[in-house]
Homo-oligomer: A and B are copies of this chain.
Amino acid sequence: MTHSNPTLQQLGEFGLIERIKQLLPPAPPSVFVGVGDDAAVWQPTTGKALTLTCDCAVEGRHFPKLKGQSLAFIEQMGRRAVHMNLSDIASMAADPRFALVGLALPSNRTVESIEALYRGIVQAFTEFDVTVVGGNITSTSGPLLFHITLGGEVTPNLAVLRTGSQPGDHIGVTGFPGNSAAGLHCWLSETPLPSGTESLLDAYLQPNARVKEGLCLAPYVHAMTDISDGLLLDLQNLLVPEHLGAVLHQKKLPLHPSMKTLTQHLKQPSHQFTFAASDDYELLFTAPPHAIPALEQAYYALPNVPPLHWIGTVTESSGLVLANDETKTPLTIQGWEHFQNAQRAITPS
């Protein structure tokens, strides 16, 4: 029996695995054994340490429901999941190397939709020279879910951690945090984006992990993380374990021209989205003032980088404060919390 557009149930697990294997490029010499045995065998580089992270993305919660979407959109969601993971390796200032991809799939999905998802995953990894060395496929009665484990390499003790910030450090950020939240807000509320501001939705749908930027910033920064839960929530993670605080300067907060257009159009404050729960995958870091000239010189020597913004300073007293010309306002942390923010699912069910 043949099917013109078979479902997973019709093709079966082993048939799907065969199709997915066709999407994988040839493995480099560091991979002794790739997909297809009980485990992969991979040769690390002598003298390097491994950075390891995993992330899980649930349909309808971390990304929009795929059923009924175009294959191009589904492929984009595969790419997006990869960049979410790459961003964690980028923020350690490590070099991404290998990945394992776990998929839990409802049996009624079409094979071509899963192939599109996987194509997006593999193409994004290939761009960063990451080899998919293994994975797992299972069926589920719940939402489609994928779980990516990513391994990178870094010179031991040169990984940049969340700890290490000092009072007086400047707080820097790549790109425009909040753009992703603004794009998502308009999409979910079905508010048409004003002409010329489409990049806000792209910030949500097509984030770019700042891998080369992280590697470049490493020698100059004290601490680094990526913005995945919201600027303030992630900043809080850089202010430990010393119970440090931060002053952010209203006028120094990044404001993308599209964001200015949108917030004017919505008649809302221009930084309405800057602190929101946000999937920007930009880098957030602290650096001593004396390091900044060399940092900027190295950074802007890289091709195609987003602008750096210095948005505030690390303080000795805990708490986050927003400073304007004359006023200082305490900031309440906003961000994403899994079990309690369930109502902020992408497409509530």
Query: Which residues on A are within 8 Å of B, measured CB to CB?
Result: 8-9, 11-14, 16, 32-33, 36-44, 46-47, 49-56, 58, 60-62, 88-89, 91-92, 94, 98, 100, 102, 104-105, 107, 133-143, 145, 147, 149-152, 154, 156-157, 159, 161-163, 225-226, 337-340, 342, 349
Contact check, A39 vs B56: say whether CB atoms are below 8 A apart: no
Contact check, A40 vs B12: say whether CB atoms are below 8 A apart: no
Docked complex Cα distance between A36 and B52 (Å): 12
Q: How many copies does the complex hold?
A: 2
Docked complex Cα distance between A197 and B58 (Å): 42
A-B contact pairs, 12 of them (CB 8 A): A11-B339, A36-B162, A39-B88, A39-B94, A40-B52, A41-B50, A43-B50, A44-B49, A52-B98, A52-B151, A53-B100, A145-B145
Docked complex Cα distance between A13 and B336 (Å): 10
Given contacts A52-B133, A140-B145, 8 further A-B contacts (CB under 8 A): A33-B159, A40-B52, A41-B49, A41-B156, A41-B159, A54-B134, A58-B140, A137-B338
One of B8, B41, B60, B339 near A107 (C-beta < 8 A):
B339
Known: A88-B38, A339-B11. A161 touches B51 (CB 8 A): no
Most chain B beta carbons < 10 A, residue from A14, A50, A88, A139: A50
Question: Nearest-CB distance from A243 to chain B (Å)?
Answer: 16
Docked complex Cα distance between A151 and B42 (Å): 10
Contact check, B135 vs A54: say whether CB atoms are below 8 A apart: yes
Contact check, A138 vs B38: say whether CB atoms are below 8 A apart: no
Top 6 closest pairs, chain A to chain B, by CB = A142-B142, A39-B53, A13-B338, A149-B149, A147-B147, A39-B51
Known: A32-B156, A53-B134, A56-B102. A140 touches B139 (CB 8 A): no
Contact check, A225 vs B38: say whether CB atoms are below 8 A apart: yes
